[in-house]
Amino acid sequence: MNFIVSSSLLLKNLQSLSGVLGTNNPLPILDNFLFELRKNELIVSASDLETTMTCRMTVESQEAGKIAVPARILLDIVKSFAEQPLNFKTDTATFAIEISNDNGRYKLSGQDGEEFPKIPEMDGGKSFDVPSKVLNEAISKTVFATGTDDMRPVISGVLFKLGTDQVTFVATDAHKLVRYTRKDVKALADVTLIIPKKPLNLLKNALPTDDSEVNMSYNDSNVFFDLGSITMICRLIDGKYPNYEAVIPKENPNKLIIDRVAFLTAVKRAAIFANKTTHQVRLKIVGSELNVSAEDLDFANAASERLTCSYDGEDMEIGFNARFLVDMLTNLDGTDIRLEMSTPNRAGLLLPIDTGKGDEDLLMLVMPVMLNA
Q: Helix 132-142 crosses helix 197-206 at what angle (to 10 degrees)?
A: 140
Cα separation, 170 vs 178, in Å, equals 6
Cα separation, 361 vs 180, in Å, equals 6
263 and 349 together in one domain: yes
Would you say residue 110 lies in a domain? yes
Q: What is the CATH number of the domain that holds 17?
A: 3.10.150.10
Q: What is the pLDDT of residues 322-341, one digit of tens each?
A: 999 999 999 999 899 999 99
257 and 170 together in one domain: no
Residue 267 carries which DSSP code? H
Question: Predicted confidence band at 354 (pLDDT cuts at 50, 70, 90)?
Answer: confident
Distances in Å between the Cα of 308 and the Cα atoms of 179, 259, 290, 333, 336 are 28, 9, 6, 20, 12
User: Is residue 313 left, alpha or beta, with left meaning phi > 0 and alpha meaning psi from -120 to 50?
Assistant: left
pLDDT of 22 reads 83
212 and 255 together in one domain: no
Residue 315 has pLDDT above 60, yes or no: yes
240 and 253 together in one domain: no
Q: Which residues contact 281 (CB under 8 A, 6 or more apart)?
A: 267, 270, 271, 274, 292, 293, 294, 319, 320, 321, 322, 325
First-to-last C-alpha distance (Å) of the chain: 72
170 and 253 together in one domain: no
168 and 88 together in one domain: no
Question: Which residue type does 6 have?
Answer: S
pLDDT of 356 reads 65
Residue 359 has pLDDT above 60, yes or no: yes
pLDDT of 156 reads 96
Cα separation, 369 vs 261, in Å, equals 23
Radius of gyration of the chain (CA): 25
Cα separation, 357 vs 348, in Å, equals 23
pLDDT of 355 reads 64
Cα separation, 133 vs 204, in Å, equals 10
Distances in Å between the Cα of 229 and the Cα atoms of 42, 122, 266 are 11, 18, 44
Would you say residue 184 lies in a domain? yes
Q: Which of 316, 282, 317 is nearest to 296 (CA)?
A: 282
> What's the mean pLDDT in 128-155?
94
What is the average pLDDT score of the chain?
A: 94
Would you say residue 75 lies in a domain? yes
Handedness of CA 46, 192, 208, 225 (dihedral sign): positive
Share of the chain above pLDDT 70, in %: 99
Domain end (from 245, 278, 313): 245
Domain end (from 216, 245, 274): 245
Q: Which residues contact 259 (CB under 8 A, 6 or more apart)?
A: 307, 335, 336
Would you say residue 20 lies in a domain? yes
Q: 3 with 43: CB under 8 angstroms?
A: no
H runs (alpha helix) in 90-247: 132-142, 197-206
19 and 40 together in one domain: yes
pLDDT of 373 reads 56
Q: 167 with 187: CB under 8 angstroms?
A: yes
Question: Predicted confidence band at 121 (pLDDT cuts at 50, 70, 90)?
Answer: confident
> What's the mean pLDDT in 243-253?
95
pLDDT of 80 reads 95
Our count of domains for the chain comes to: 3
> What's the mean pLDDT in 182-202?
94
241 and 137 together in one domain: yes
Question: Predicted confidence band at 13 (pLDDT cuts at 50, 70, 90)?
Answer: very high
Residue 346 has pLDDT above 60, yes or no: yes
Q: 60 with 24: CB under 8 angstroms?
A: no
> What's the mean pLDDT in 107-122?
92
Would you say residue 372 lies in a domain? no
> What's the mean pLDDT in 228-252?
95
19 and 99 together in one domain: yes
Would you say residue 120 lies in a domain? no
pLDDT of 217 reads 94
Would you say residue 371 lies in a domain? no
Q: What is the pLDDT of residues 57-88, one digit of tens each?
A: 999 999 999 999 999 999 999 999 999 999 99
Structural domain range at position 298:
248-366
278 and 355 together in one domain: yes
Q: Which of 300, 304, 278 is nearest to 292 (CA)?
A: 304
205 and 288 together in one domain: no
Would you say residue 308 lies in a domain? yes
Domain end (from 88, 115, 142): 115
11 and 99 together in one domain: yes
Question: Predicted confidence band at 358 (pLDDT cuts at 50, 70, 90)?
Answer: confident
